[in-house]
Amino acid sequence: MNIFGYKIVNKWLAGAGLIILLSALFIPAEVHGKATTIFIGAIGFGLLGLGTGNKKFASEAKAIVIIVIVALSIKVTLLEAYIVPTGSMEETIMTGDFLIGSRFVYGLRTPDWIGVPYTDIGFFIPYIQLPKFKNPEVGDVLIFKYPRDKYVKYVKRCIAGPGDTILIENKQVYLNGSLAQLPKNYVFSQPEIPKTMRQREIYLSSDKNINKDNMGPISIPKKGDYFTIDSTTNWRELLPIMLMDGNTAKLVSKKKTYYFTLQDPFEVDRRKGHPSVYEPYAGWSEKGNLITPWTRRIPDDYFEFLVINDIPLSEWSSYEIKQNYYWAMGDNRDDSLDSRYWGLIPENFILGEALFAYFSLNLRTWIPRFDRIGTIID
């Protein structure tokens, strides 16, 4: 094997290089356990090959490094791999589908983080985006970072974009006043929820009788929009947007300062391997000083003590939106945790457009679904 002028003559190293390449390209980050096993196994395989007494150690080591760099460069710039763990997009995408998404169609961008794959060893880098082929459009199937836990990826269909207005009435979606076309493989599996019934977990439901089948109208912000800041400001809507735009916010009282975060308190400890809520969160721990903008533990009148980017709220009169936002929902409308529950998707959280399934596995029986391989996502 010849890699950019460096020869691999050892079959063990050739095998290790192939495993590293395929795992880096096609093993989704969600499969942490298997991915870690494959990655460490590949390194061990390569070291075993180096230990066979091959005299071209330097050349082979350089070739392995190049393989790793090329594989990871492709993954963080051109392709996005994702395994679908839920049925929220059925029948368009099935639970257990392994998807390939295009990163470059919405503009190549630097990764948020660079480091050792499938570990926490690394560092964050500034966000830079190159020119795009197109913007995300209504109907596109998006792969994106979950706004309440950026380490988790979601796949949903784009329902509305920046500047649009969305209304959901009797399960039907109206986009800018017109009835939106349902996806080809949509699923409704539950009776309609009456308009008078309120679901407290729904986005912006704090003072309205709304539910997943009846909500809105909701305006989707676009870059350059202005929000007036005064006594009527809906901070449940604006504060998450400001945080997603990269601003900082805190509530300052005489006794204590509370810092706003978009990170769900349950997700932090789950990732650390603990079933409990992350201790620094206020309301869960007496010593906690972190709060989320959607928590109901904050009365509306407390927002007058907001400090944004270390500037008191009294010095703010308006806010300009820094990026475009999107609204996404699952094709399986009655079994999808989507924008109806957690709100807007910032443009810089969108990783790519889902293209096709390169593999599929029945997650109950672990039997491959070969008929799904190559399925185009539309």
| Per-residue pLDDT, 49 | 54
- On the 0-12 / 13-18 / 19+ scale of CB atoms within 10 A, 136 is buried
Q: What is the DSSP letter of 83?
A: E
Sign of CA dihedral 128, 105, 79, 140: positive
Query: Higher pLDDT residue, 55 or 52?
Result: 55
Confidence category of residue 164, pLDDT binned at 50, 70, 90: very high
Enter the pTM of the model.
0.80
Residues 6+ apart with CB under 8 A from 170: 192, 195, 213, 214
Q: Give pLDDT tens digits for 282-300.
A: 766 667 788 888 887 778 8
Which among 125-129, 185-189, 211-215, 250-254 has the top mean pLDDT?
Answer: 211-215
Q: Is the pLDDT of residue 35 over 50?
A: no
DSSP class per residue in 227-259: EE-STT--HHHHHHHHHHTT--EEEE-SS-EEE
**Minimal CA–CA distance to 244: which of 323, 135, 175, 300?**
323
What number is the average pLDDT over the span 35-64? 55
Distance CA 76, CA 78 (A): 6
CB-based contact 147:342 (threshold 8 Å) = yes
The pLDDT value recorded for residue 150 is: 79
C-alpha to C-alpha distance for 332 and 91, rounded to whole angstroms: 7
DSSP 288-306: --EE-TT-TTS-GGGGGGE
Residues contacting 240, CB < 8 A, separation 6+: 147, 262, 293, 294, 343, 344
Residue 199 scores a pLDDT above 90? no
Residue 98 corresponds to which tokens in the numbers above? 């392994």
SS3 content of the chain, % helix, strand, coil (to 5): 25, 30, 45
User: CA 125 to CA 110: how far, in whole Å?
Assistant: 8
Q: What is the mean predicted confidence (pLDDT) over 117-146?
A: 80
The mean pLDDT value of the chain amounts to 81
- Token pair, residue 41, equals 């196994």
Residue 366 is predicted with a pLDDT of 87
- What span, in angstroms and rounded, lies between the C-alpha atoms of 140 and 162? 14
Domain boundaries, the chain: 2-76, 226-320
Burial class (CB in 10 A: 0-12, 13-18, 19+), 116: exposed
Q: Which helix (H) or strand (E) holds 326?
A: strand 325-329
